[in-house]
Chain A
Amino acid sequence: MREYAFFLGCIAPNRYPGAESASYKTAEKLGIKLLDLEGASCCPAPGAFGSISLEIWYAMAARNLCLAEQMKKDIALICNGCYKSIWEVNHKLKHHKELKEKVNEVLKTIDMEFKGTIDVWHLAELFYDPEIVGVQKIRDSVKVSLEGTRIAVHYGCHLMKPRKERHFGTTEHPTWLEEMVGALGAEPVEYRNKMLCCGAGGGVRGYDLVHSLDITNEKMINLKEARVDALTEVCPFCQLQFDRGQIEIEEKFGVKYNLPVLHYCELLGLAQGMSPQELALDLHGISCEPFLQKVL
């Protein structure tokens, strides 16, 4: 069993606890044990915090990294926003001596030091990596096949972009998450402008909600056109924007989509036999019922 410090972030534990719960359980079935990272905080939000001061954003993210360094464990996480903060700050501090020294000056005031001894991973990339889990093992873990459902994937932005800094290959037309959806028995469905942002990031959701929802609405139009039963993603912030966002879209623009939105870990949980109750799917803004009826 491989062990990782599980960096929770904010939205999964505080808005979609089913996604958190599913992560522990699905990972464990695939040979990954997620350990509590006690005292971790907001990553902090790369858009809001980074816009104010990159320097403070580095220091705050570094504190979270230090907690995992103390545990001597790599970090695994389930949110693209967290990935942006935690992965990127780890990467930057490891490669820029001057930056690291500056951050460590601040951390000294709380008796911490960033050493650069661990790595950071998105749980989805660990699942996909054949040396760790791999698509075949995911397929083998399925108890309730999602056969007969059409599922679209939203990759989000901060996991794979900027491409040159990351290690995921193409950001124009990736298909690795579709493979992981296919492994659950569902039919992965392509749709127009798949890589378009959810619209929430960069502080825009808070700054100009209508603008932000208008981007989300464009995605919703494209998803509707593809006649999918559900949308899956690997970022609770995107999830919030698509799920609760659909309610706001109805309020602001008068259009209704009723498209269930599930984190990949929730979807995997269902396929591995977890019940909708165990996934707290009733907390979702948009009912997952129509999708569940096709599956269960």
Chain B
Amino acid sequence: MPRTKGYPEALDKKLADTRLYEDERHPEFTKTVEKLSMSIPHMCYQCGTCTASCPSAPRSSYRIRKFVRRALLGLEEEALTDPDLWLCTTCYSCTDRCPRDIAPTDVIMAMRNLAFKRDIIPVNFLKTVQAIYTTGHGVPNNDVNRAARKKLGMNPEPPTTHAFPQYVKGIQKIIDYYELKKNADRIVKEREG
């Protein structure tokens, strides 16, 4: 299967050089990732069990072991700018099998959170936020479905925020508390015009 996402050129060059440069290490990155993930990537001994368990590994250049290494060495730039960061399906196979009791999945989630703080995020993630902000649902109702629900003798709108839209306000308040909608709109606009 062809790769559908390429590496940025600079990162490609960087990865060809496997030496570790002290000035690229940010120990606070390790600490932040550990706090956010509630896990312990510094305990990793690079056995590769995680990569061997990973459904994304055989069909891409994504290597979860590499990301855990980046977490433990504090290689922030390399971790957050690598587009493979977004290929984890969060299946938790690595987490169930890691012999050091690390949760590589949660390490990835923590890194994604940190990437987002720097506006590094694929737009599809933001579009889910926009949908939830507007309707309460990430996958909202549609006419075909409404007709089918009616035929089943159900309310065309499920008893969620769809039938009770007055609840959407609370959801918007939570999202706005973190200014997430504002940022999502801004980034989507920057990318898509």
Contacts and interface: CB of A to CB of B under 8 A. Distances in A.
Interface of A: 8, 10-11, 13-15, 17-18, 20-21, 36-42, 44-56, 59-60, 63, 106-107, 109-110, 112, 157-158, 161-164, 171-172, 195-197, 199-204, 206-208, 210-212, 214-215, 218, 277-278, 280, 283
Interface in B145-175: 145, 148-149, 151-152, 154, 158-164, 166-171, 173-175
A109 B116 CA distance: 25
Contacts of B88: 202, 204
Given A10-B140, A63-B174, A53 B92 contact: no
B132 interface: yes
Contact of A161 (B4, B96, B142, B158): B96
B140 to A, nearest CB: 6
A211 B56 contact: yes
B21 interface: no
A21 B153 CA distance: 9
B148 A44 contact: no
B96 to A, nearest CB: 5
B36 A54 contact: yes
A216 to B, nearest CB: 10
B174 A110 contact: yes
Given A13-B141, A17-B149, A196-B55, A39 B160 contact: yes
Contacts, number: 221
| Most central of A21, A42, A158, A197 by chain B CB within 10 Å | A42
The 6 closest A-B pairs by CB, nearest first: A206-B124, A39-B167, A13-B158, A161-B92, A197-B91, A41-B136
B103 interface: yes
A50 B154 CA distance: 32
Interface of B: 1, 4-5, 36, 55-56, 59-60, 86-93, 95-96, 103, 105, 109-110, 112-113, 116, 121-122, 124-129, 132, 136-142, 144-145, 148-149, 151-152, 154, 158-164, 166-171, 173-175, 177-178, 180
Contact of A13 (B5, B113, B160): B160
B89 A206 contact: no
Report which residue of B4, B110, B142 has the largest number of chain A beta carbons within 10 angstroms of its beta carbon: B4
B129 A48 contact: yes
Given A40-B160, A215-B56, A14 B145 contact: yes
A52 B141 contact: no
Contacts of B128: 44-45, 48-49, 203, 206
Given A49-B138, A52-B116, A206-B125, 15 more contacts: A10-B137, A10-B139, A13-B141, A17-B158, A21-B152, A39-B161, A44-B138, A45-B132, A60-B174, A112-B170, A162-B96, A202-B87, A204-B56, A208-B87, A215-B55
B152 A211 contact: no
A280 B125 contact: no
A8 B121 contact: no
Contact of B175 (A36, A46, A56, A196): A56
B158 A8 contact: yes
Contact of A106 (B4, B142, B174): B174
